[in-house]
């Protein structure tokens, strides 16, 4: 039976080539957009380099201060994280790092744009960076304020070329010479808390890291001894936040949270709103809008095709075909169409992902069509086929025999 439906579907697709092209284009184009989006989200969520201990880590990304007529929200100061987060008993390590800052450096009259960030010693213990050369700078070097740095592999290639080792050599950043301590595998820019081209000791920062303000440019990662300690660590941080004094008389409330990775990644910074709901709503609206227009277009095309096949439907009904059989046939035909469009969409997605990766549109981000993305793509094809096929199939099943035969 399915074999006959497949033959009929192919014959119908060949009959009106223009409508078939429009249908396949709509399906494949929509699926390509969704696959690329899914590949991006999957990369952000599932790629755990270099924070491989996410299951026992909590992320502190923002602090908000509110008063009757005052409001201040943003990242935190080094003092706040070091003094308050560093006083917690549950975490075994507290990684502190600044936001990446852009600057230019020059080598052989060539300008190179790089990003640098400041980190503490625990940063290298909490995170599992893959060192391709050398090692991280030590706590002693940080305390001594030494001008040392860890650089990314791309920075090494661009600044030094293809020499085997650059440990002990100097690189200029923000008009200061730093001695290279190690080279690490690239971190994608989407991991904004961890990404940088070069990493520097916080003690060489040109700003006063001992300033006792609460707001600044730093974020923190709390590391528990085990994942069972994570809820306890989270509660302990919440208790500390409830007890800290107001920074100014203009404020009477302070909000800051130690979140899991996803919650911290999308946190809005506004009171107790984590941002997860907003992110899910935004993604859902985008997916619905992307799928809605091609689905409606495919429904209209399918309805038109049904009216063209009214005589065929009338003859089949006259010879005893039930409405259920006709609906089943048409849905199968539509699923075949969407699967064909889906296969084209997958091929286009592979090409688009390769173009994005080769163009390096997003620094250090390598998107791929993995099994998760492929499964979601096939699921979308199925949903697409059902959504665009159910209503036309129902319209087809409602045609009366006499009306269908007269339509010819």
Task: Tell whether the model's pLDDT for residue 172 goes beyond 60.
Answer: yes
355, pLDDT greater than 80: yes
Give the torsion sign (CA, 330, 335, 337, 338): positive
pLDDT (0 to 100) of residue 371: 75
pLDDT above 70 for 408 = no
pLDDT of residue 397: 62
- The mean per-residue pLDDT over the stretch 36-55 comes to 85
Give the DSSP per-residue string, 94-151.
Answer: EEEEEPPEEEEEEETTEEEEEEEEEE-THHHHHS---EEEE-PPPHHHHHTT--EEEE
Distance CA 48, CA 334 (A): 39
Q: How do strand 148-152 and strand 176-184 relate by DSSP bridges?
A: parallel
The distance in angstroms from the start CA to the end CA of the chain is 26
- Give, in order, the Cα–Cα distances in Å from 350 to each of 43, 355, 368, 377: 15, 9, 8, 12
Percentage of the chain exceeding pLDDT 90 = 39
* Mean pLDDT value across residues 386-403: 63
Please provide the DSSP assignment of 3-35 as one string.
Answer: HHHHHHHHHHHHHSHHHHHHHHHHHHHHHHHHH
Question: Do the beta carbons of residue 346 and residue 374 sit within 8 Å?
Answer: yes
**Res. 304 pLDDT band, cuts 50 70 90:** low
Residue 267's pLDDT band, with cuts at 50, 70 and 90, is confident
More confident residue, 329 or 172: 172
Residue, of 374 and 214, whose pLDDT is higher: 214
> 221 and 60 in contact (C-beta within 8 Å)?
yes
pLDDT value of position 171: 94
**Phi then psi dihedrals of residue 106, to 5 deg:** -130, 140
Cα angle for residues 326, 327, 331 (degrees, 5° grid): 120
Of 18, 1, 28, 4, give the one whose Cα is nearest residue 337.
28
56-106 pLDDT, tens per residue?
999 999 998 888 888 888 899 999 999 999 999 999 999 999 999 999 888
pLDDT range class, residue 222, cuts 50, 70, 90: very high
pLDDT over threshold 90, residue 269: no
- pLDDT value, residue 199: 97
Q: What is the model's pLDDT at position 196?
A: 95
Residue 256 has pLDDT above 80, yes or no: yes
Give the helix/strand (H/E) hosting 242. helix 230-243
Look at residue 384 and tell me whether its pLDDT is greater than 90: no
Tell me the pLDDT tens digit for each residue of 306-328.
666 666 666 666 666 666 666 77
Residue 33, pLDDT above cutoff 90: no
Taking Cα atoms as reference points, which of 263, 246, 293, 202 lies closest to residue 68?
Answer: 246
- For position 57, what pLDDT does the model report? 96
Contacts of 404 (CB under 8 A, 6+ apart): 310, 311, 313, 314, 317
Report pLDDT for 276. 62
pLDDT for 116 beyond 90 = yes
Most confident of 30-44, 102-116, 262-276: 102-116
Where b means 16+ CB within 10 Å and e means fewer, 179-196 reads ebbbbbebbbbbbebbbb
**Mind listing the pLDDT tens digit for each residue in 328-345?**
777 777 777 777 888 888
Specify the pLDDT at position 308. 61
- Greatest alpha-carbon span in the chain: 94
pTM (predicted TM-score): 0.77
Query: Model confidence at 175, in pLDDT bands (50, 70, 90)?
Result: confident
Q: Which residues contact 53 (CB under 8 A, 6 or more apart)?
A: 126, 127, 128, 223
């Amino acid at each position: 039976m399915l074999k006959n439906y497949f033959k009929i579907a192919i014959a119908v697709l060949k009959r009106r080539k223009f409508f078939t092209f429009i249908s396949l284009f709509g399906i494949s184009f929509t699926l390509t957009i969704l696959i690329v989006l899914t590949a991006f989200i999957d990369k952000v969520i599932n790629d755990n380099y270099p924070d491989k201990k996410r299951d026992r880590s909590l992320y502190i990304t923002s602090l908000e201060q509110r008063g009757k007529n005052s409001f201040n929200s943003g990242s935190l100061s080094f003092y706040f994280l070091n003094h308050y987060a560093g006083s917690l008993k549950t975490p075994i390590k507290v990684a502190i790092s600044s936001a990446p800052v852009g600057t230019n450096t020059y080598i052989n009259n060539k300008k190179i744009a790089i990003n640098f960030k400041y980190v503490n010693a625990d940063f290298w213990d909490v995170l599992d960076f893959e060192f391709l050369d050398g090692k991280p700078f030590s706590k002693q070097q940080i305390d001594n304020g030494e001008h040392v740095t860890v650089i990314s592999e791309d920075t090494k290639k661009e600044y030094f070329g293809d020499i085997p080792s650059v440990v002990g050599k100097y690189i200029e950043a923000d008009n200061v010479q730093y001695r290279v301590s190690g080279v690490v595998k690239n971190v994608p820019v989407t991991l904004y808390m961890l990404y940088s081209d070069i990493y520097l000791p916080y003690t060489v920062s040109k700003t006063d890291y001992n300033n006792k303000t609460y707001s600044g440019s730093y974020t923190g990662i709390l590391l528990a001894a085990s994942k069972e300690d994570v809820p306890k660590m989270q509660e302990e941080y919440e208790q500390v936040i409830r007890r800290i004094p107001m920074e100014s008389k203009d404020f009477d409330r302070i909000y800051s949270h130690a979140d899991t990775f996803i919650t911290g990644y999308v946190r809005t910074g506004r009171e107790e709103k984590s941002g997860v709901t907003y992110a899910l709503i935004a993604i859902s609206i985008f997916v619905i809008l992307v799928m809605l227009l091609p689905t409606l277009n495919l429904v209209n095309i399918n309805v038109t095709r049904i009216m063209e096949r009214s005589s065929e439907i009338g003859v089949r009904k006259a010879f005893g075909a039930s409405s259920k059989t006709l609906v089943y046939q048409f849905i199968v035909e539509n699923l075949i169409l969407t699967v064909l469009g889906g296969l084209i969409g997958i091929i286009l997605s592979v090409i688009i992902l390769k173009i994005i990766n080769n163009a390096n549109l997003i620094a250090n981000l390598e998107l791929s069509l993995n099994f998760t993305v492929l499964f979601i793509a096939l699921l979308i094809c199925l949903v697409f086929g059902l959504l665009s096929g159910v209503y036309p199939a129902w319209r087809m099943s409602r045609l009366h025999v006499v009306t269908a035969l007269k339509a010819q």
